[in-house]
Amino acid sequence: MRILVVGMGSIGQRHIRNLRAIRDVEIIAYRSRGQPLPEDLQGDWLREFSDLDAALGEDPVAALICAPPAVQVESAAIAARAGCHLFIEKPISDCLDGLEALVAEVKQRELSTLIGYNLRFHPQLQRIYQLVSEGRIGQVTSIRAEVGQYLPDWHPKEDYRLGYSARRDLGGGAILDLIHEIDYVHWLGGAVSRIACFADHVSGLEINCEDTAEILLDFEAGSIGSIHLDYIQRTLGRSCKVIGEGGTIKWDFSEDKVELFEVSDPQWQVFNDVGFDRNTMYIEEMRHFLDCIEGRVEPIVDLEQGVENLRIALAARESADSGRVIEISR
């Protein structure tokens, strides 16, 4: 199997390593920068191209789009027109331009698409979704999620000021960059009708986009959600609480556990996944993508769902910029 990878930053390299762990794939790498790749990514199974059309001329069956958000849609559209199934890293873009045409192209060519929300493959989030779906806490009334980590610590060997996360023109900023929380809260709570948000650059980080955001969501089902995002916490913090009329679910990412309280059985149940290797999420994500393009399963998060998540994120940014509550059009 021959796969094109557009963008050879840390996430593109991670996906290549994981694909190679799963299957004997051939990689066609397209990138604009010329720094040598790590030694473990060098071999006759990987060929580099500086021209996208030339790379597509090698007839890859699929393309992994792992570029800065502001330029992903253009590359995805070119790859789709060449008949490639698509894996697109989150967020798929920093605006909605070109996405309607991309969705139409994908549908016309009957291509599989998967958006890079690796947290969907975390066993604890899957457990939470199952508990909610089974009605273990009754009707959900509210969902609260938060994530934060000091931006310079993300890639300690790199200058954080040069990465796309620090630049709004490339699609950076906490709202888009930390869109995983928007995705899984949307997954748990369903369709969103209205959004309010405060967001700003409030720290001393040398960036030109928001480093902190507080988002309020009004779900069509009648529940309410809140999401905190930041680039500032000096230790990674990620957690979620789902409150229902019949109980509560709590998740702590760092402690690898989910806790469940049910009114019918008034004591906390603890589900542990101690020692969970976080790269397993990415391996399962690539395994799922291969299954999708070979027709064995349907994508867990396809392009249209990715566009809906982007609409929510962009509405949050619009609310922060305008000071208004934003209605989500469907």
The answer to the question of residue 187 being in a domain is: yes
CA 173 to CA 103: how far, in whole Å?
25
pLDDT digits (tens, 9 = 90+) for 127-155: 999 999 999 999 999 999 999 999 999 98
Pair 313, 176: CB distance under 8 Å: yes
Regarding whether 273 and 139 lie in a shared domain, the answer is yes
Whether the per-residue pLDDT at 101 is higher than 90: the answer is: yes
Q: Which of 51, 59, 50 is nearest to 3 (CA)?
A: 59
**167 falls in which pLDDT band (50, 70, 90)?**
very high
The pLDDT score that the predictor gives to residue 58 is 97
CA 17 to CA 252: how far, in whole Å?
28
Mean pLDDT of 235-242: 96
CATH number at residue 89: 3.40.50.720
Which ranges constitute the DSSP H helices of 142-225? 174-177, 180-189
CA 285 to CA 274: how far, in whole Å?
20
Structural domain total, the chain? 2
Whether the per-residue pLDDT at 266 is higher than 90: the answer is: no
Domain that holds residue 191: 119-277+301-327
Regarding whether 102 and 72 lie in a shared domain, the answer is yes
The answer to the question of residue 202 being in a domain is: yes
Regarding whether 18 and 153 lie in a shared domain, the answer is no
End-of-domain residue from the set 94, 111, 128: 111
CATH number at residue 220: 3.30.360.10
What is the chain's Cα-based Rg? 20
Regarding whether 211 and 166 lie in a shared domain, the answer is yes
CA 233 to CA 151: how far, in whole Å?
9
CA 285 to CA 115: how far, in whole Å?
10
The pLDDT score that the predictor gives to residue 37 is 87
End-of-domain residue from the set 82, 111, 140: 111
State the angle between helix axes of 303-322 and 180-189 in degrees (0 to 180), rounded to the nearest 10. Answer: 110
Regarding whether 96 and 72 lie in a shared domain, the answer is yes
pLDDT digits (tens, 9 = 90+) for 293-316: 999 999 999 999 999 999 999 999
The answer to the question of residue 287 being in a domain is: no
| In the chain, % of residues over pLDDT 90 | 90
Whether the per-residue pLDDT at 34 is higher than 70: the answer is: no
Q: What is the pTM of this model?
A: 0.95
